[in-house]
Chains A and B, each alone.
Chain A
């Protein structure tokens, strides 16, 4: 495995850990305080964390000039964004 891929994996790992940790804290705070706002943001952050992960991978692959997989990532991002768009119209 190339060291660049390993570095990208480390960055993705950090992004996922940060997303999971912050959303976990928000959810715990919401349950303990009986407040809806932290629960709402915690759940939303959990859903958004994988989207951020795709963004991080896309940037990493752009820096790696791996254009085929950049295209793949952009397609996946497009599908996710269309899901956000459709959900806003339901």
Chain B
């Protein structure tokens, strides 16, 4: 592996942490291609560094999201049952599957999610009547002067999506937010800001489930990982603050474009 200047690694971590925290993704979906394709880092080392950077992004941005009351902790803990199982399985399977199959499936999934998200970007998931009971996994959301209620729908689908997201996180070091946020928002009735914040809250735990395995296997390159994580910390704090200033519909459209582009890029990588 060629020696990469530390400041380039720090900037890479900062940029991907910023975008990741803004969209509740973790940022690994950008960091792995950046490290592996642009900087020539071996894919397994890139995945391990990304997983740890994603944990840094998720932990840092969650401090801000918690302060704003955007995280639905009960929903997050419930879905973590599935994401940690998926993360553990994905981390163990990482050595067994071919990258080509993985990239192709993942790329196609992302592209489809992007189209679905774009088509439903105008749809709102909130109920203006504050008298409506949100249920144990729903919640209340304050947006400016307006207060809303939201309720979880299709919980089994959210659990399946979380399991898949966890497995993909463990396999590709991408956090899994790119699956969870669109599914929670588009199909399960969770407002985009709450979906992104709750996803980021979960990503740290999902990442930890598989990061221990990469750490134990000796795949973590300390200097590279530390530099990327150092950049991700301030980047994600800034991203979490910026996300509040962007309109919900714009967030959905940005997410749809990101899903399509990354999906196509990954599918092309496999061909």
Q: Which residues of A contact B (CB under 8 A)?
A: 1, 5-6, 8-10, 12-13, 16-17, 19-20, 23-24, 27-28, 30-31, 36, 39-40, 42-44, 46-51, 53-54, 57, 69, 72-73, 75-76, 79-80, 82-84, 86-90
User: Tally of A-B residue pairs with Cβ under 8 A?
Assistant: 145
Query: Number of B residues contacting the other chain (C-beta, 8 Å)?
Result: 48
Q: Once the chains bind, are A16 and B78 in contact (CB under 8 Å)?
A: no
Contacts A46-B52, A88-B216, A90-B217 hold; do A80 and B69 have CB atoms under 8 A apart?
no
- List, in ascending order, chain B residues with CB within 8 A of A75's CB: 81
B196 to chain A, nearest CB (A): 17
Q: Once the chains bind, are B233 and A20 in contact (CB under 8 Å)?
A: yes
Looking at the complex, which one of B67, B204, B226 makes contact with A13 (CB distance below 8 Å)?
B67
Q: How far, in whole Å, are A38 and B270 apart by their CA atoms in the complex?
A: 38
Residue on B nearest A38 in the bound complex, by CB: B226
Q: How far, in whole Å, are A25 and B140 apart by their CA atoms in the complex?
A: 36
Q: Once the chains bind, are A82 and B69 in contact (CB under 8 Å)?
A: no
Pick out which of these stretches binds chain A: B83-91, B183-191, B261-269.
Answer: B83-91
Q: How far, in whole Å, are A45 and B62 apart by their CA atoms in the complex?
A: 17
Contacts A24-B233, A76-B77, A88-B216 hold; do A13 and B55 have CB atoms under 8 A apart?
no
- List, in ascending order, chain A residues with CB within 8 A of B78's CB: 69, 72
- List, in ascending order, chain B residues with CB within 8 A of A47's CB: 52, 55, 207-208, 211-212, 215
Q: How far, in whole Å, are A71 and B255 apart by their CA atoms in the complex?
A: 34
Q: C-beta contact mask, B52-73 vs A, less than 8 Å → 1, else 0?
A: 1001101110110011010101
Q: How far, in whole Å, are A39 and B63 apart by their CA atoms in the complex?
A: 23
Q: How far, in whole Å, are A1 and B215 apart by their CA atoms in the complex?
A: 38
Q: Once the chains bind, are A83 and B208 in contact (CB under 8 Å)?
A: yes
Q: Once the chains bind, are A20 and B60 in contact (CB under 8 Å)?
A: yes
- List, in ascending order, chain B residues with CB within 8 A of A46's CB: 52, 55-56, 59, 229
Contacts A50-B55, A76-B205 hold; do A39 and B212 have CB atoms under 8 A apart?
no
Give 9 closest A-B pairs by Cβ, nearest first: A87-B216, A50-B204, A79-B84, A87-B212, A39-B222, A27-B226, A13-B66, A90-B216, A50-B205
With A6-B69, A8-B73, A43-B52 known, 14 other A-B pairs at CB within 8 A are A12-B73, A20-B63, A20-B233, A39-B222, A40-B222, A43-B222, A48-B208, A50-B204, A72-B78, A80-B84, A80-B212, A86-B88, A86-B92, A89-B216
